[in-house]
């Protein structure tokens, strides 16, 4: 049985879309779900107090297709993690996916992933390659171009273009920052603890990376080396403050280290410590540019604590007396 010939009455798949002033690109996103070759799905669109035509667009689709459900937040959450968590309260499916309002799916995405997860009941999730496109949909590069070769030691080929990740894949994710794209993932809801599905709302970024590591600790994943989703790059994507990104990365990586250290080999532990030290050093430089002397010194000292490299102490000393980088 091929992916495109799966029966209409297979297990229910829930797709959550977080929306805020999403009118510009929302229709293609919705239609990419409703036109899936896999038909047994619910599309949960969560509106975070939009001020444009987002709600009207969703209501139009909901009138025509009973699979579409609109959830309206009463107060502004302000970040996608909050909005997606609201959607999780309404999920009824055995399998769960996420889609950003400005991105879209390949028509066989759901069918492909359901088929693989049904055939591999010990796997908790499946993910795939993502094509980056411009505003008009013209292809750019791919998201995980070197993933198969880089993660070869942690994968077993199941069938052409389909790999089973081993029980230590989570360590590879953390050490090498193998960022699984949110729109590529399908989660088997009944194979993981319910609280493992929720995003950590402290993050502006990295909330998804944190979730994938937690899932990796619960069980194995499947990787499909095919383009089954499309990520649109455009001028209104989330603007990311460099300092906030760096701070979030360090929260994520230090927490990940605590979670995975007992199951990591010494070489992976050392590699992750070096990566954390590097991020602290970069953060020290960013603080220094902003004339935040105490924070800069503190970040460089943290870098030294993680790596014991004397260069970080030199940078800390310089930050004390020359708070702004040249």
221 sits in which H/E element: strand 220-232
In a domain, 263, yes or no: yes
Q: What is the pLDDT of residue 1?
A: 40
Q: Within this chain, do residues 261 and 317 fall inside the same structural domain, yes or no? A: yes
Whether this prediction's pTM lies above 0.75 is answered by yes
Give yes or no: residues 312 and 205 share one domain: no
Residues 162 and 306 in one domain: no
- Give the number of domains in the chain: 2
Residue 237 within any structural domain of the chain: no
Question: Looking at the structure, do residues 218 and 251 belong to the same domain, yes or no?
Answer: no
Last residue of a domain, one of 232, 253, 273: 232
Report the alpha-carbon distance of residue 250 to residue 92 in Å, rounded.
34
**223 and 251 within one domain:** no
Give the helix ranges, DSSP H, for 206-292.
207-218, 242-260, 266-289
Residue 99 lies in a domain: yes
Instruction: Tell me the C-alpha distance between 69 and 30, whole Å.
Output: 11
In whole angstroms, give the CA distance from residue 225 to residue 130: 9
| Share in percent of the chain as helix, strand, coil (round to 5) | 50, 20, 30
Instruction: State the Cα–Cα distance between residues 62 and 24, nearest whole angstrom.
Output: 18
| pLDDT for position 48 | 96
Same domain? For 183 and 288 the reply is no
Residue 223 shares a structural domain with residue 256: no
Q: Clarify whether residues 220 and 128 are in a common domain.
A: yes
Same domain, 36 and 73: yes
Q: Please report whether residue 326 resides in a domain.
A: no
Cβ distance 87 to 16 under 8 Å?
A: yes
The domain boundary, picked from 188, 212, 232, lies at 232
115 in Cβ contact with 8 (< 8 Å):
no
State phi, psi for 229 to the nearest 5 degrees. Answer: -150, 160
Domain final residue, candidates 204, 232, 260: 232
Find all residues with CB under 8 Å of 161, minimum gap 6, and list them.
224, 225, 226
The closest alpha carbon to 259, from 200, 326, 322, belongs to 200
CATH value at residue 152: 3.90.550.10
- 71: tokens are 């959830």
Residue 190 belongs to domain spanning = 3-232
| Segments of the chain with pLDDT less than 50 | 1-6, 239, 323, 325-326
Based on the domain organization, do 63 and 170 belong to the same domain? yes
Are 179 and 35 contained in the same domain? Answer: yes
270 shares a domain with 223: no
């Amino acid at each position: 049985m091929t992916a495109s010939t799966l029966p209409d009455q297979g297990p229910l798949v829930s797709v959550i879309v977080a929306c805020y002033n999403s009118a510009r690109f929302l229709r293609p996103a919705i239609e990419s779900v409703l036109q899936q070759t896999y038909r047994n799905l619910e599309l949960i669109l969560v509106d975070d107090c939009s001020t444009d035509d987002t709600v009207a667009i969703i209501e139009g689709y909901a009138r025509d297709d009973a699979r579409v459900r609109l959830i309206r937040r009463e107060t502004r959450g302000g970040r996608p993690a909050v909005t997606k968590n609201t959607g999780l309260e309404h999920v009824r499916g055995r399998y769960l996916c996420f889609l950003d309002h400005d991105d879209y799916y390949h028509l066989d995405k759901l069918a492909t992933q359901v088929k693989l997860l049904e055939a591999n009941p010990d796997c908790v999730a499946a993910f795939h390659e993502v094509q980056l496109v411009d505003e008009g949909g013209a292809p750019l590069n791919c998201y995980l171009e070197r993933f198969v070769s880089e993660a070869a030691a942690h994968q077993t080929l199941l069938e052409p273009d389909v790999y089973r990740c081993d029980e230590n894949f989570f360590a590879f994710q953390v050490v090498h920052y193998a960022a699984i794209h949110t729109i590529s993932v399908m989660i088997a809801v009944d194979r993981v603890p319910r609280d493992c599905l929720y995003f950590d709302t402290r993050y502006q970024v990295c909330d998804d990376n944190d979730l994938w590591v937690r899932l990796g600790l619960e069980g194995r994943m499947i990787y499909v080396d095919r383009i089954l989703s499309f990520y649109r790059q455009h001028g209104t994507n989330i603007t990311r403050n460099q300092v906030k990104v760096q701070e979030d990365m360090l929260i994520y990586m230090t927490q990940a280290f605590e979670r995975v250290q007992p199951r990591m080999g010494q070489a992976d532990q050392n590699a992750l410590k070096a990566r954390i030290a590097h991020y602290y050093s970069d953060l020290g430089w960013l603080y220094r540019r902003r004339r935040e002397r105490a924070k800069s010194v503190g970040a460089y000292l943290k870098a030294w604590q993680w790596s014991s490299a004397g260069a970080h102490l030199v940078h800390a000393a310089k930050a004390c007396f020359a708070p702004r980088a040249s």
